[in-house]
Amino acid sequence: MNVHRLCIALITLFACGCSTELGAGKINIRYMAWGNPEQMALEEQLCEKFNLENPDIHVKFLKVPGTAYLNKSIVMLASDTAADVMRVDHYNFANLQKKGFFLDLTDLTKADPDWNESDFFPQTIDECKVNGHVYGLNVLFGGTVIYYNKTMMARAGVEDPYVSWSKGRWNYDRFVDIATKLTKKDGNGKYIQFGTAIPVFPSWTPMLYGFGGDFLNSSHTKSALSDPAAVAGLQFISDLRYKYACAPTLAQSSNSAFTFESGKLGMSFDWMGMTPRYRKAVKDFEWDVVPIPTGPVSGQTIVKGNQLVIPSHCKNPKAAWRFARFITSAKIEQLLYVKNRRCFPTRIEVASSKEFSDGTLPPSQIHTFIGAVQGGKQLPIDNRWAEWTTAMNNELDLLWNGREKNAKVVADRATKVIDKVLTEEPGW
Amino acid sequence: MVKKPSKKRLIDRQEFWGFLFICPWLIGFLIFTVGPMISSLVLSLYKYDLANAKFVGFENYRRLCTEDPLFWKSLKNTALYALLTVPLGIFGSLLVALLLNQPVKGVRLFRTLFYLPSMVPAVASALVWQWVFNADNGILNQALAFIGLPNIEWLQNEKFTLYAFVIMSLWGIGGQRMIIFLAGLQGIPESYYEAARLDGAGTLAQFRHITLPCLSPVMFFNLVLGLVGAFQVFTSAYIMTSGGPNNASLFYSLYIFRNGFEYFKLGKASAMAWILFAILLGFTLIQFALSKKWVHYEGEAK
Amino acid sequence: MKRIPTYILLILGSITFSIPFIWTISTALKSSSEYAKEPSRLIPAHPDFSNFAKAWTALPFPTFVWNTIFVTVICTIAQVVTGSLVAYGFSRFTFKWRNFLFFTMLATMMLPGQVTQIPVFLVWRKLHAIDTFFPLIVPAFFGGGAFNIFLLRQFFLSIPRELDEAAMLDGAGFVRIWWRILMPLSGPAVASVALFSFLSHWDAFEAPLIYLNSPEKYTVSIGLRMFQDSYGTNFEQVMAASLVHILPTILLFFVCQRYFLKGITLSGMGGK
C-alpha cells in the first residue's frame, strides 16, 4: 500500500505549514487590518517599506475581510494572540478599550521626542484619548461631505451648490429645492433620476445635527431623540423621501439602482473615503464636493477615524510603537491621503501642504474636506454604541420605510429602547 | 481470525469492536468538544463581558424569559421559519428527487442545474436575492405582476420579510436534502418493484408500500437535520437584512451572535445557546420516540 | 411520449433553479460602468470578461486555491473513512451506552458554534496549532461531525443484516465487512457524504478565518470576502471571483453523478 508514503507526504506538508519564516535575529511583529484588495496591496507596500528602513524589525501583515474583522479581533484579543499593531474601527474602540485590551500609549508618546500632540488635528487626538490617556494613533480619519454631480446640475440649470456655498446661501431649503428639481420621472411615471438619497446610518447624522438634534444627552446617559430639535431633524430626513419625494425609497434604491456613480443621483452624503472609488468608477460626468448645508442650527458634519492600537499583552510594544508611528508619519500620510486620497490626514502639516490642495483630479474643492474636519462633530460613540444604535435603528426603520410618517412617534419609540439599553448594567 | 464464533464470543467481540469503531468520534469529542461545551454551560451562569465575570446563577435565563422581548421575537421568528421551511423543504426535495431519479437523457445536467443555487457562495447569493426580491423590478414581483398580483416590498416591509426568507429556502430544495433522497432512492433494490408489479400494484401503491418505507430512514434524517438547520439559520439573515426591518428577520442565531460578538454579553449568549440546545434536543428525542412507529430499518442491530 | 411531461417539468425546474447562477454570471460579465448604470439588466449590453482577470489577480488566488484543495481533499478522504467507521460502529454493534453516546453525538450539533468558538480556539492555542492547517484538518479525522455519521448510519441501517452475517460465516472480519459490504452497497450515500464534505470544506469560512493568520495560508473563501468593502463593494468582481470559486465544485458534482445512476451498485444485491 502507498499509505506509508502518503503519510510521509502529509507530515512533510504539515511541517511546511507550521514553520513560520522568522527573520533571523529580528524582532517579529504582526500588523492586522482590513480593506479591499487594492487598499490591502497598498498597506502591504507600506509594511515592505518599513521592513527595508528598519532592518532590526520584521512586520508581517495580516489581512482580514472587513465583514469578519470584529469577530476575529475578539477571538484574538480574548486569547492573547492578537497582532502587535491592529487597526480598530472607532465604532469598536471604546468598547474594546474598556475591557482593558489596549496598551496605554501615553508613556510611549512622552518618551518619543518626535511625537507632538500639536502636530495633529485635535479631533484626531480626541478620538484616541480615554480619561486623558492615549490608547491609539488615528488613521483613516474623515468626515461626511456632499458629493454632487456637476454635469447633472448644469443640465438642469440649477445653481452649482459650490456657488451657493461660497455666496453663503447653502442651506437645507436650497438643498431641497435643487434636489426636487433634479428628480425626474420617465413617461410611465417611473423615477429615472433622484436629487439626493437618504444615506445609511450614520451618514445622515449631519441633518440631525443641522437641526440642533443629537442622539444622546451630553453625559450619554439618556436618549435625546425626543427633543423637538432632534424630531425636526428626523422629520426633515423622512420628508426628503415622503414629502418632497426627492430621495428614493428603500425599494426604489435597492439593488444599487441609484448610486452616485450610476449618474442617476444628484447629491450624496458620503465619507471622504469614497473619493478613490468615485475617481475610478465615474467616467461620464463631472463631480465635486461641497460642505454639508447649513441647517436652522448648524452645518456641522460628523467625523470619525480608525485607531492603530497595541494590545495590552503585546510582547514588543516598542517595536510596535515604531511601526504605528511609521504608518502615521508625514511621509506615509502624503502617500495614503494625498496621493491616494484615502480619507483625510491626521497631521495639520500634510493637510495644509500644497499637494493636498491640488484639485487636478476631482474633487477640486479640497478645502471642503479641511473645513469638514475642523468643524466636524464626533458621534457619541461609547462602549454601548453597537447595542443602542441597533435598537434605535430598528425603530427608525419604521420612519425610513414609510410605515410611520410622523417622526415624533418614532422618536419616542426609539427613546424608549435607547433608554432601556443605557439604564441596563453592561454585560446583561 | 476465528472462523465460526460461538454466540457468546460474538457478543464479547461486539462490545469491543463497537467501541473501537466509534473511537474516532469519541476521542475527538473528548478532546475538542466536551470542554468547550461545559465551559459555555458554566459561562451561561455568569455575567461575563470579556473583562469581568460575576456568578449570577440562573439570572441570565430568567432575564431572557421575562425581560427580553427580542429573545421571544427571535424565537418566534425562528420557530415560524422552521415550521414553514422544514415540511416544505422535505416534500419539495422529495418531489425533486423523484423527478431527477427518472431515467431520462441528460439527467446529470438537470441534477447539476437543480443543485446550482446551493453552490453559489453566500457573498454572491446575498446580491442575487436582493435582485430577486427587488420591489421595483425584481423577478419575483414581475412574476406576481404577470398573474395580476400587486408589488410586494419583500425585504422592506416587515410583514413579508420572513416569507422572503422562506421563499429563498425553496431554492435549496434541489440541494443537499434532494441528494440524500436521491441516494436513498438509488438504494431501493429494483427487485422489490418487480415483485410488486407481478402482484399487480400500480405506481401509487408502489410508492406507498415500497418507496416510502424504504426512504423512511433518510426521511427521518432529513427531518431531524432540517429542524436543527432551520433553528440555526444565520448567514442569509446576517448578510441580507441584518435582522431588519424592525427585527422581522431577527433569527435566534443572529441574536446570539449579536449578544456575543457585538454587545459582548457572553453569559447571555451562552444561556441563549443552551436554551436552543434544550429545545432541539427535546424535539429530537420526541422524533426518535415517534420514529419507532414509522421508520423502517432493514438492518437494525437488536 | 410518456416522458414529455417529465421533460417539461425538468426544463421549467432547471430554469427556475438556475436563476441565481445566471444572475451571478450576468453580473460578472458587466463592466463596472455598466453595472453602475444598469445593475438590474439581465443580459449585459457589452459582455466584459476582464472582471475574471481582475478578480484573479487582485489577490494571490493560485496560493489560495492550492491551500483550499489541500485542506479539502485531505478532509474529504479522512471524513469519509472515519465517519463511515463510526457509523458502522453505531449501526451494527450493540454495546453499553450506545444510544446514550449516539444522542451525545447528535447533541454536539445542537449547540450553536458561536458560543464555543473562543473555548475551542483556546484548545488549539494550547496545542500550538494557531496559524496552521491542523485546526481545519484534524476534526475530519475524528469522524468529521455528527452530520456525516448520522447520515451514513441511516444508510447502513437500511442494508439487510443478513448480508453481514453471510459474510461473517464466510470468515470475513468486521473491518472487511465494513469495507467490502457496507461501503460498496452504500455507494450513493458514500458519494453524497464525500460530496457534502468536499463542498463544506471548499466553502468553509469561519474556521479558516479564525485559525489562519498568514495570508499565504488563506483559503479561497477568505479571499472572496475581501472583495466586500465598506466603501462600496465591486459586485462585478465579487461575482466573477465567486464563479471561479464554484467552478470546480460544479465539475465535481457533474462527475460524481456516476455514483447516482440507477443499477450500478445494487445489481449485485438484488441477486444475492
Residue A148 shares a structural domain with residue A116: no
Q: Give the minimum alpha-carbon distance from A335 to chain B in angstroms, rounded to a whole number.
A: 31
What amino acid occupies position A117? E
Nearest CA in chain C to B226: C147
Q: What angle do CA A318, A324, A329 make, to 5 degrees?
A: 120
Residue range of the domain that includes A107:
23-142+304-367
Domain with CATH 1.10.3720.10 in chain B: 59-294
Q: pLDDT averaged over chain C? A: 87
Separation between Cα atoms, residue A173 and residue A170, nearest integer Å: 8
Give residue A102's pLDDT. 97
A chain contacts of residue B47, beta-carbon cutoff 8 Å: 427-428
Residues of B in contact with C64 (CB under 8 A): none
Q: What is this structure's pTM?
A: 0.91
Interchain proximity C188–B182, CB inside 8 Å: yes
Q: How confident is the model at residue A9 (pLDDT cuts 50, 70, 90)?
A: low
B44 → chain C, closest CA residue:
C115
User: Do both A138 and A155 map to the same domain?
Assistant: no
A426 Cβ under 8 Å from any chain B Cβ = yes
CB C202 within 8 A of CB B91: no
CATH number for A288:
3.40.190.10
In which band, very low, low, confident or very high, does the pLDDT at A235 lie, cut at 50, 70 and 90? very high
Partners of residue C150 on adjacent β-strands = none
Contact between residue A239 and residue A175 where contact means Cβ atoms under 8 Å apart = no
Task: Say yes or no: domain B59-294 is CATH 1.10.3720.10.
Answer: yes
pLDDT of B225 > 80? The answer is yes
User: What confidence score (pLDDT) does residue C272 get?
Assistant: 31
The C-alpha cell at A24 is 533571523
The helix or strand, by DSSP H or E, that contains position B48, with its residue range, turns out to be strand B46-48
With H, G, I as helix, E, B as strand and everything else as coil, classify residue A29: strand
Same domain, A409 and A322: no
| Residue whose C-alpha cell is 495639520 | A348
- Best of C158, C159, C181 to disrupt the B interface by mutation (most B CBs within 10 Å)? C158
Contact C234 A36 (CB under 8 A): yes
Cβ separation B156–A395 shorter than 8 A: no
Query: Taking CA atoms, what residue in A is nearest to C35?
Result: A262
Contacts of C125 in chain A (CB under 8 A): 79, 81
Please count the helices (runs of H) and the strands (runs of E) in chain B.
15, 2
Residues 63-102 of C with CB under 8 A from B: 82, 85-86, 88-96, 98, 101
Using one digit for the tens of pLDDT, what is the confidence trace for A163-191?
A: 999 999 999 999 999 999 999 999 888 89
Residue A266's identity, in one-letter code, is G
Q: How many domains does chain A have?
A: 2
Instruction: Report CB contact under 8 Å: A36, C229.
Output: yes
Quick check: A394 contacting B, CB < 8 Å? yes
- Report the distance separating Cα B87 and Cα B74, nearest Å: 20
Name A123's Cβ contacts closer than 8 Å, sequence gap at least 6.
A141, A303, A373, A374, A376, A378
Please tell me the predicted confidence (pLDDT) of residue B41: 95
| Residue whose C-alpha cell is 478565518 | C209
A309, three cell numbers: 492600537
Decide if pLDDT at A412 tops 90: yes
Interchain CB distance below 8 Å, A37 and C227: yes
Indicate the residue of C36, C217, C226 with minimum beta-carbon distance to A40. Answer: C226
Residue A53 counted as domain residue:
yes
Q: What is the pLDDT of residue A428?
A: 84
Contact A338, A353 (CB under 8 A): yes
pLDDT classification of B242: cutoffs 50, 70, 90: confident
Nearest CB to A65 within list C118, C210, C226:
C226
Would you state the pLDDT for residue B10? Answer: 56
| Spatial contact of C163 and C181, defined as CB atoms under 8 Å apart | yes
CA distance A182 to A153: 7
Per the prediction, chain A carries an average pLDDT of 91
Residue B3 pLDDT greater than 60, yes or no: no
Average pLDDT, chain B: 89
Q: Which residues of A touch C213 (CB under 8 A)?
A: 30, 32, 62, 83
CATH top class, domain C61-271: mainly alpha
Q: Rounded to 5 degrees, what are φ and ψ at A159?
A: -65, 135
Residues of B in contact with A399 (CB under 8 A): none
ipTM: 0.90
* CA-only gyration radius of chain B, Å: 24
* Mean pLDDT (whole number) for C46-66: 89
Asked if C94 and B302 come within 8 Å (Cβ–Cβ), the reply is yes
Q: How many angstroms away from the CA of B246 is the closest CA of chain C? A: 23
The whole-angstrom distance between B142's CA and the closest CA on chain C is 13
pLDDT tens for each residue of C222-272: 998 888 876 677 888 889 999 988 988 898 888 888 776 654 444 334 333
Task: Please compute the mean of the pLDDT values over residues A281-305 and round it to a whole number.
Answer: 93
pLDDT 10s digits, A15-46: 444 444 455 688 999 999 998 888 888 999 99
The verdict on residue A125 lying in a domain is yes
| Domain residue ranges of chain C, discontinuous segments joined by + | 19-48, 61-271
CA angle (C11, C15, C20) in 5-degree steps: 155
**CA distance linking residue C68 with residue C185, whole number of Å:** 30
What pLDDT does residue A339 have? 84
Same domain for A252 and A392, yes or no, is: yes
Nearest-by-Cβ selection for A397 from B52, B246, B262 = B246
